[in-house]
């Protein structure tokens, strides 16, 4: 789960100084700066691809007004790193369908308001028939409208427009391969961010249970429910990383590392869901005035420490601790303390159910640390 080589000390120090400067900004501005920072490479890719697409279509192929080429390049890349192959294919096919339908229909019935209605309906219907992708009908309709309103149908221009779309889509993929985003770094950062949030929420939940503060437990639950976009982002970046690892020779060596990161996506997702279940169970106990036993609260506190260890594991440089074996060792130590015997003397069955949910969460954490599900469950059976 590490980068291929350690970063130079000066580069890391510069990045740390920049990070500290961003942290001092107001929260609203900090979010925007972070969003821009994460988008800089995709923006650069789109800009380079658009310029190259125009150069090839206009200067090399001598097409008049080849605006489809840079548009296709930008749309095929976009700011989202996932499914670029799919977007490029949908764009090229959609533009071709729109041009074909627009040329045929406008040549026969002319242009005007009702003709546009016919052209859009026909182009979108054919696109939906060809494929169910979301971009295909939109691109087909847009291209058909351009033919019906601004561009003369028929002749070499129609052929050139289809070629321009092909040029733009292919250049977009080429630029994505030659100016890539590191396929492992973003996914590692996503995973670490989720684990960091769960660490803080675990500590907050333990404090709320000790204080028997119903409102504080509810705030933890609300925050846990808000983590789903981060989980979705992790999955999207893993998918994007796989595409980069396939397309870019620069990162072919990263495929195995990315595969290991991808293996943590389901356990992290399950850990988030199980943590929500734990928090809902804790909320129910607090609402009924049940005081959760201190050993149980200690387990929740310890789980917060495990989330921190797993977060550090995700971000650790090559050869630096903690590695997956270190993380698994720490999780096992908490598993040994989370024995079912903790619930032998509880008065409320929901408190026993809380322990069951905590043990299920520990299975997820063992899997994040690299164990298979069967091995993780076996660890629980060894420590009943």
Asked whether residue 8 carries a pLDDT value surpassing 50, the answer given is no
Whole-number pLDDT of residue 283: 92
> What would the CATH number be for the domain defined by 185-382?
1.20.58.220
Domain boundaries, the chain: 43-178, 185-382
- In the chain, what percentage of residues exceed pLDDT 70? 78
Which pLDDT tens digit goes with each residue over 59-68? 998 888 888 8
Other CB atoms within 10 Å distance of the CB of residue 379: 18
Give the residue with greater pLDDT, 338 vs 350.
338
Higher pLDDT, 270 or 94: 270
User: Average pLDDT for residues 343-372, to the nearest whole number?
Assistant: 85
Cα separation, 279 vs 361, whole angstroms: 12
Q: Residue 10: pLDDT band by 50, 70, 90 thresholds?
A: very low
Average pLDDT, the chain: 80
Q: Which two tokens stand for residue 383?
A: 């420590």
pLDDT at 315 over 70: yes
pLDDT digits (tens, 9 = 90+) for 185-240: 778 888 899 999 999 999 999 999 999 999 999 999 999 999 988 888 888 777 77
pLDDT tens-place string over residues 248-297: 666 666 666 777 787 888 899 999 999 999 999 999 999 988 888 888 89
On the 0-12 / 13-18 / 19+ scale of CB atoms within 10 A, 185 is middle
| Of 159-163, 262-266, 325-329, highest mean pLDDT | 325-329
pTM score, two decimals? 0.66
CA 52 – CA 170 distance, rounded (Å): 11
Amino acid 4: pLDDT: 38
Least confident residue range of 6-10, 109-113, 275-279? 6-10
What integer pLDDT is reported at residue 14 of this predicted model? 40
Mean pLDDT score, 332-352: 79
């Amino acid at each position: 789960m590490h980068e291929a080589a350690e970063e130079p000390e000066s580069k890391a120090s510069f990045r740390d100084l920049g990070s500290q400067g961003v942290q001092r900004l107001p929260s609203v501005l900090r979010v925007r700066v972070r969003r821009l920072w994460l988008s800089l490479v995709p923006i650069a890719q789109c800009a380079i691809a658009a310029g190259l697409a125009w150069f090839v279509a206009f200067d090399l192929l001598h097409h008049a007004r080849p605006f489809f080429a840079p548009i296709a390049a930008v749309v095929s890349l976009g700011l989202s790193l996932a499914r670029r192959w799919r977007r490029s294919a949908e764009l090229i096919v959609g533009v071709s369908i729109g041009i074909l339908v627009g040329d045929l229909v406008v040549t026969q019935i002319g242009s005007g308001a009702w003709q546009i209605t016919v052209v859009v309906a026909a182009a979108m219907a054919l696109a939906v028939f060809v494929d169910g992708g979301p971009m295909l009908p939109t691109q087909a309709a847009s291209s058909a409208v351009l033919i019906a309103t601004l561009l003369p149908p028929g002749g070499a221009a129609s052929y050139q427009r289809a070629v321009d779309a092909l040029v733009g889509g292919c250049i977009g993929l080429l630029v994505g391969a030659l100016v890539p985003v590191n396929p492992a770094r973003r996914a590692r950062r996503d995973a670490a961010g989720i684990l960091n949030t769960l660490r803080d929420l675990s500590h907050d939940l333990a404090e709320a249970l000790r204080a028997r503060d119903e409102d504080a437990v509810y705030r933890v639950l609300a925050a846990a429910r808000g983590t789903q976009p981060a989980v979705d982002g992790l999955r999207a970046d893993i998918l994007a990383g796989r595409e980069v690892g396939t397309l870019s020779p620069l990162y072919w060596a990263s495929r195995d590392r990315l595969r290991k990161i991808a293996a943590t996506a389901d356990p992290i997702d399950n850990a988030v869901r199980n943590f929500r279940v734990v928090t809902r169970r804790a909320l129910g106990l607090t609402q009924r005035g049940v005081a959760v036993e201190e050993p149980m609260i200690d387990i929740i506190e310890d789980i917060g420490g495990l989330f921190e260890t797993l977060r550090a594991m995700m971000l650790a440089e090559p050869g630096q601790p903690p590695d997956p074996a270190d993380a698994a060792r720490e999780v096992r130590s908490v598993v040994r303390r989370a024995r079912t015997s903790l619930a032998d003397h509880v008065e409320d069955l929901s408190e026993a159910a809380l322990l069951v949910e905590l043990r299920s969460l520990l299975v997820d954490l063992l899997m994040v640390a690299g164990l298979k599900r069967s091995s993780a469950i076996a660890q629980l059976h060894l420590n009943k």
